[in-house]
Structure 1
């Protein structure tokens, strides 16, 4: 069974931010939409969606036309509550930034089918980590910049304070030095990292937001849940996979914990997976196998891969990887280099 969704899409609110940034840079956004075949009528109302393929084409054209290596920061400046669908409004009503980020992570699939987010707390720090499903192709680095920068910009707007992370980890290398990133985030930035995340001090996220309205936020949560249920109909295994990601690397995903996060019994969890022709073990194995290949191709150390995937040690991970693929983990990066040399 394949968990990849062939109909991945993104909300028009996110597309609007890209278009506004293009226009501010003097690029012909309307002409590009016609060229790509993006119906401008979908921009009206805010709850329509464009295919991920179209959004990726839009990104490439925007980058080519602007020639700006930091175009992602320009898009982040155009973020509004509607950029994040109904989730943006519920975030703005949250009592604290921690609760706002919790809502973002919970409903991230509603904003884009290609992105999931997890929120974990470790040693008085809160880690907001992003996972991108691009169908095997590496993410366009400007989109990665935009996602992280947009969330931080929106947090600053909600709090009316210049919130800064403790640390930012990005998987790509800087296009033109690190100064622009460090200035925007207000902290150290690690490039070429195995994870894509922002790390915050817990105390910075726990401060009360004076303009909050949790009663209204709860109403909006109900709307977001309804939209998400509609989006994920027939894709229960994908929801389970997202919750497995949320449990890694600190815990090995379990049936009981996952069922509790979904608000159902373990028996119901297993029954619904069976209806989609899969099992809990199969979903976990596929997730770990896919992530293992991604990390190893990025040059992540074997010990770090084992940790990120929830294995107790290198040996246990290596044995599992060989069982999945018939190969040793150490051969993956070498084989990729050989394939690239052969293709050249």
Structure 2
């Protein structure tokens, strides 16, 4: 399915935040860019992109050369509107933090091909969940920490207030000091969780943004939509996949709801997937299979995995998994988890 296999990249604005943090740590960032083969002239414009492979290599160099396990928080402090391209400016013009986060989640693919975000409400709380798709390669956990910290740092910057989540959860093991995480977030931070997310009180997201101008934000949304359409051309299956993630685990992703979220008919949805050589069922199956392996390798119990993937019970999930892979879910846990933990 070619729509899911396109080369991944990230905006130069995001790389610039990393470069600024490296320089403040006394690292010769320019020589590192040359060594990797990243053209520094691209940093001068906000529309260019670097390959995700190069960005990952830059991260590894930054971690090694700074020797700072909490380097990600230094990067988060360098985040400004241009870091998120036109999305950052529309967020800063949003009336409230809630509207700003809705824009971030909707246009997340424009910022990076390797990350998506969903925003859901549960009683009096709002959950901003992050999903990382690195093409089968294990994510650099410092980058995961930095993405989450950067969003919160930017929320604080556009409100000029210390916004504090209710809780922050990561699916990976602790990286750096727990003390640094507590100090930055100001709330409980949990690791090895099913989700990577920040949980907020709904009332806290009703805070007004200092530079709010919804009329200007709407104009910027138009620009963001154009850039997103250009960026996702020929990758319609990826957009469908993102919307499926947003529907799980609350419901089984449906053609009707996915088409509604895309602003099109079911017939158009299916036709555009067919053009890319895939079907709605194929995209859903691949997504569930990928997520199932991720969850099982973290040691999650079958009932939790079944719930997160939208299955009615353990047995239904187990049968589906065996049909996909020819294996029982329990064999993934026994065979793969020790290798991951080694």
Pairwise TM-score range, normalised by the shorter structure: over 0.9
Q: How does 1:28-107 map to 2 (within 5 A)?
A: 28-107=28-107
Are the structure 2 counterparts of residues 98 and 324 from structure 1 closer, same or farther at C-alpha, using a change threshold of 3 Å?
Answer: same
- Structure 1 gap segments, 5+ residues each: none
Can you list the C-alpha shifts for 1:79-117, whole angstroms capped at 9, x where unaligned?
Answer: 010000100000000011011000000000000000011
CA contact (8 A) 2:2 2:277 kept: no
- TM-score computed with the length of structure 1 as normaliser: 0.96
Q: 3-state SS of the aligned residue for 1:162?
A: coil
Match of 2:135 in 1: 135
Can you list the C-alpha shifts for 1:133-168, whole angstroms capped at 9, x where unaligned?
Answer: 112222111101100000000001111111111010
* Counterpart-to-counterpart distance in 2, 1:62 and 1:105: 27
Can you list the C-alpha shifts for 1:146-192, whole angstroms capped at 9, x where unaligned?
Answer: 00000000001111111111010012222344111011001001111
Are the structure 2 counterparts of residues 108 and 340 from structure 1 closer, same or farther at C-alpha, using a change threshold of 3 Å?
Answer: closer
Match of 1:168 in 2: 168
Note the C-alpha offset of 1:338. 6.8
- TM-score computed with the length of structure 2 as normaliser: 0.97
Question: Is 1:124 aligned with 2:121?
Answer: no
Note the C-alpha offset of 1:302. 1.2
* Counterpart-to-counterpart distance in 1, 2:157 and 2:5: 33
* Counterpart-to-counterpart distance in 2, 1:300 and 1:227: 38
Question: Is 1:288 aligned with 2:285?
Answer: no
The count of corresponding residues between Structure 1 and Structure 2 is 342
Are the structure 2 counterparts of residues 35 and 258 from structure 1 closer, same or farther at C-alpha, using a change threshold of 3 Å?
Answer: same
Match of 1:146 in 2: 146
Can you list the C-alpha shifts for 1:283-332, whole angstroms capped at 9, x where unaligned?
Answer: 10100000000111111121111111111111111111111111111110
Note the C-alpha offset of 1:337. 4.7
Note the C-alpha offset of 1:3. 4.9
- Structure 2 gap segments, 5+ residues each: none
Greater RCO, 1 or 2 (C-alpha within 8 Å, sep 6+): 2
* Counterpart-to-counterpart distance in 1, 2:121 and 2:39: 42
RMSD: 1.4
* Counterpart-to-counterpart distance in 1, 2:268 and 2:33: 44
Can you list the C-alpha shifts for 1:191-250, whole angstroms capped at 9, x where unaligned?
Answer: 111211001011100233343100000000000000000000001010000000111111
CA contact (8 A) 2:158 2:210 kept: no
CA contact (8 A) 2:2 2:276 kept: no
Are the structure 2 counterparts of residues 39 and 212 from structure 1 closer, same or farther at C-alpha, using a change threshold of 3 Å?
Answer: same
